[in-house]
Structure 1
C-alpha cells in the first residue's frame, strides 16, 4: 500500500494492499477501497462508501459526502462504486437517503469528466460517459452505454435508457428511452435514434432499421402513447429491443420526452 505522508486515512478504513493514496487525500472511517485503485491527490472519500477495483480518482473529487437533502439526519446510507471507473477533477458523488433506498450506485468502466455531479439516490449503469459539468439531481437512473453531454442538467426522478445519448447544454425533465438521442436546450426533445452510437456498439443495419420503424410508430404516428404501445406490441412482437423500449415507457413516472418533427430532426442542435 502506498499512502503519501500528507494523506489522512482513518485507521478503521479498509484498503486493499496495493491501493495508492496520493498527497492530501482524506479517507473516512467507513470507507472500503478495492485493489489497484489510485487516488491521485486531494481526494476526499467519506461516509459508508465502497470503491471496487482499479478505479482512478483525480484531484479534488469528493465521494460519499452527505446528500444535499433536508430530510437527511446522518443515517448510514451508502455510495457503492464498481470497477475500472475514471472520476476526473472535482467530481462529486453524494451518498443516498433512507427515503430513496439507501444506496447511490455507479457501475463499472464509466468515465465521469471534470465537475460532474451525481446526487443522492442516483443509480448509474456501466460504460457511461458523462461530459464536463453534467449534473444529476436525486433519484436519477441511467442505463448502460449512455452518454450525457457537458453542462447538461437532469431533473430528479428522470431515467435515461441504455445506449441513449443526451446532448450538451440540455435541460432534461422527462425520460429518454433506450437507443434514443435527446437535445435542444431547455425542455429537450427526442431527435430519433442514437444511430452512430448503436453502430459503434455493433448493432447491425437490420437491427437499427427495426428500431427506426418502432420509433416512428411510438413517437411520430400521432397516436396517444397507450395506443402506440399497443400497436408496437403487435407489430414488433418478439423483438427484444422494441420490448425494452416499451417496458421503459410503461414504467415512466415523469413522462417520456417528445419527438421533434422529421423536418426539425435534420436541424438537431450541436
Structure 2
C-alpha cells in the first residue's frame, strides 16, 4: 500500500458536507491543510460549515448543489474548479420494508446514493487523470457488504456503491493511473439516522462516533488505503454467505442487521452523512 493523497494544500470536495459525517470530514480536511469544498442541497447548511471553517482562519468554499441533477453537477464543477479528493458522501435512508416504501422514495434513494456517484466522479475524474493525482472516496456502508432487512432500497444502493468503486479501481489500474479509490463501509454511525434501532438481541458491535469515522477516512486518504470497514470485523461479513442460510440469518440477527430489525425510528429521508 503506497502513499495516498496528501491533504496539505489539496482541494477536498465533500458532497452532503453540510451536516453529519460530511461536515466532520470537511472540517477535518481543513484542519489538515486542505481547502474544504462543501456541496450540499441546503444553502444554510453548506454556508454554515464553510463559515465555521473560515472563522478558524482556514480556507473553505460552499456550493448549493443537487447531486442527483447531472447538469447541475456539471455547472457546479465548472464553478468549483479542480479537485484533488472527491468524497462522495451524500446519502439518504428510508428505513421502511419494501412494500411500505413509496416508489418516489426508492427513486430518490437510488438517485442520491448511486447516480450521484457517476455524475460527481465523472465531473472531476478527467482533471485528476490529467494531473495524475487524486483520490475518489465513496462512503458506502456495512449494508453494502450484506443486505439489511427493512432497508432494501438502501442496501441495494450501497451494494451498488461498493461495486462502483471496485470497478472504477479496476479501470484506473488498467490505465496505469496513480489516481486512487477508497470505499468506506461503516456499521451504524451516531448521526441520528439509526437512533432507536431495536433488535432481537443486543447489538454486539458499537455505534460508531462521527468524529472517529471522519478521522479514519481522512487518515485512509493520506495513507492510500483502498477499503475501510468499521469496525474491522465488518470486513468479514461477506464471508458469512458460506454458512447455511439459516445460520447466516441467525448471525445477522445477532449483529442487528437482518431479520432481527424489529423497529427503526431514525429520521426517514434524512442524509446518512
Give the alignment's TM-score, normalised by structure 1: 0.26
Instruction: Say which one has the larger Rg.
Output: 1
- The structure that is helix-richer by fraction is 2
Q: Return the structure number with greater relative CO, CA threshold 8 A, min gap 6.
A: 2
